[in-house]
Amino acid sequence: MDRVALRGLKARGHHGVFPREREEGQTFIVDLVLGLDTRPAAAADDLTKTVHYGVVAEEVVAVVQGEPVDLIETLAERIAQQCLKHEGVEEVEVVVHKPDAPITVPFDDVTITITRSRV
């Protein structure tokens, strides 16, 4: 299976369990790896035979900016399900970064990584 990766998609969302997170929002960063067979697209040099990563990026940002959820696990699942709606995408790895998580000690990042497939 071939891989198309999108790294560092940024969007502001209002996800979290604390009222401040819901009210003020924060930046979330998403990395994706889409698993698909790119041979038909390469052979025909045809965008319609692969995944349009620009469209996927816009959809992922819309999910992050959309309906708030408590957990980044839920957000990652919603993103994965959106990606799997694209014909040809057989699996997806989603990493959601929450670099401004409300943690009281110094840290660089909080992430959740999930892998989902059509199977």
Report the pLDDT value the prediction gives residue 57, as an integer from 0 to 100.
98
Provide CB contacts within 8 A for 54, sequence distance 6+: none
Look at phi and psi of residue 61 and say left if phi exceeds 0, alpha if psi is from -120 to 50, else beta.
alpha
Predicted confidence (pLDDT) per residue in 20-59, tens digit? 999 999 999 999 999 999 999 999 999 999 999 999 999 9
Q: Of residues 10, 49, 85, 98, which has the active-site annotation?
A: 98
Residue 97 has pLDDT above 80, yes or no: yes
Q: Phi first, then psi: what are they for 101, rounded to 5°?
A: -55, 145
Residue 119 has pLDDT above 80, yes or no: no
Q: How many helices (H) and strands (E) does the chain have?
A: 4, 4
Q: What percent of the chain has pLDDT over 70?
A: 100
Q: What percent of the chain has pLDDT over 90?
A: 98
- Angle (nearest 5°) at CA 106 between 101 and 108: 60
98 is catalytic: yes
Mean pLDDT, rounded, for 70-74: 98
Dihedral of CA atoms 5, 109, 100, 12 in degrees, nearest 10, equals 0
